[in-house]
Amino acid sequence: MKLLIRIAVVFSCLVFTSSPFAEPIRQTERHYEGPPKDGILRQTPIFPWDDQAALSDIKEQIERLEQEGVPEAFLTLAMSTDTEPSQTRNREIYTRDRTVLGFLFPDSEDDVAREKLRAARYVMFHSALEGRPYVLYNLGNSLYRWPDPAMPKDFHLTLWRLAADREMLPALVNFIATNRVDVSDLNADMAEAYLRYGFDLGAPGGEYQLVSNLVEFYGHYHTNREDDGYFRRALDRLSELGATAESKAWEAFARLDGYHLQQDVPLGLDILTSLLAEPDPRYHHYVTIGYAYANGNGVPRDLDLARDIYVACLRASKEAGCAHNLGSYFVRPSEGVYKPILANALYFIAEKLASEQGAHHVVQLAQAEQEHTKADFPIWGAHLKLNQYITLIENGQFEDIEELSGVRPFPRPDQVFEGQKYSDSLIGGALAAFNASLAF
């Protein structure tokens, strides 16, 4: 099982097994608070490579743009002597660069905007030859968003790397480490070197972005790669930086899957349970916890507990995965449980929610199972009952559904999970608060 963030939010595809329960989508959101401030100057490359070819490519692009024609004002600007930088966000930026920076990111597609974009790149390429890292970084961003087929393939990656060799820009490492590690001459070894280097230095002004990406590098993209202890240390530093919930979520999934940390499924489930009491909780954690109990993954199989977890999830938030898996709870004919109308109502709600949330695999799965359960509807009254179920579920009136009359709060007020012996300090207060919030 793989996880997302994002930050934003990261999405993984559902992996379907013989189990009727949909596997949870792993999501770990990452939040960015603008560009980094002060960088760390570098005189030599962090990861050795021949950057002379890259500098030659920049010169060739300057010559090409001159031959194609650059407005006189931009030609003059590129040739101007710019020796007095001003301070912006604790960073020196030269007047020449400030003048054209906005043109690198046009807000329209008209001919004027495109011409200014080309001219701005011409000016910035001159600044890039002077080794200004923020120029290299922004040129890379511009080419990434608006590629120029006349430039070398993946030239934006080269520009980002040149920037990183001159200044530790955590946002740059974000691109290298998470988006393009297998493209061009960039690879996991190089990305790892930049991330570890920035982590060891501290990367002031952008440390959160860099540490979060180091965690994601090992926790999502390279789960089987030797981390030399960096994953655990990065989790601890995330907590020190105030991103405690993010750190806990990554640890929980590492404990569940057994990568980089010793596998301990009860502890992983405990940590996820504690996160449900955090401000702005990620309700998809309910899906992960319920899925483990529904299938007996690392804990004793307990379908009734899984049912209670999914109902608690739907009480707290309309999560598509919870609706779908609660429907699957009622489609187990081999175990004497088969309520096709109620299951179909839950599949209908799951499809609706998944469509809103962009979970296309859940949509497809729910649609298929609706068709399957419809085949077993009685002739008379089925659609009336179906609509009644849908209304009650959408209104949160689970106590009025006979099949859910035995549902209990989750977590159990008196329940002590196996993993708590490792994590009482982590969970205790959070569980108590969450119990109170979910009491019927």
* C-beta of residue 139 within 8 angstroms of C-beta of residue 124: yes
Q: How confident is the model at residue 380 (pLDDT cuts 50, 70, 90)?
A: low
- Whether the ω angle into residue 279 lies within 30 degrees of 0, i.e. cis, is no
* C-beta of residue 77 within 8 angstroms of C-beta of residue 69: no
Q: What is the DSSP letter of 376?
A: T
Domain boundaries, the chain: 46-182
The token pair that represents 184 in the structure block = 């061009």
pLDDT of 181 reads 55
> Which residues on neighbouring strands pair with residue 338, listed in sequence order?
331
Residue-wise pLDDT for 30-43, tens only, equals 333 333 333 344 44
**Closest by CA position to 49, among listed 152, 177, 189:** 189
Q: How confident is the model at residue 108 (pLDDT cuts 50, 70, 90)?
A: confident
Q: Using CA atoms, how far apart are residues 266 and 274, in angstroms rounded to an integer?
A: 12
Average pLDDT of the residues in 130-135: 85
Q: How confident is the model at residue 92 (pLDDT cuts 50, 70, 90)?
A: low
Ranges 223-237, 255-269, 270-284: which has the least confidence: 270-284
Average pLDDT of the residues in 1-6: 34
Residue-wise pLDDT for 235-250, tens only, equals 999 999 999 999 999 9
Question: How many of the other CB atoms lie within 10 Å of CB of 48?
Answer: 10
**Closest by CA position to 401, among listed 303, 283, 311:** 311
Q: Using CA atoms, how far apart are residues 94 and 134, in angstroms rounded to an integer?
A: 10
Q: Any long-range contacts for 236-243 (C-beta under 8 Å, 24+ apart)?
A: 237/199, 237/207, 237/211, 238/208, 238/211, 238/212, 241/207, 241/208, 241/211, 243/208, 243/212
Ranges 28-32, 63-67, 151-155, 180-184: which has the least confidence: 28-32
The token pair that represents 425 in the structure block = 């300090």
Q: Using CA atoms, how far apart are residues 12 and 28, in angstroms rounded to an integer?
A: 11
Calculate the average pLDDT of the chain.
Answer: 77
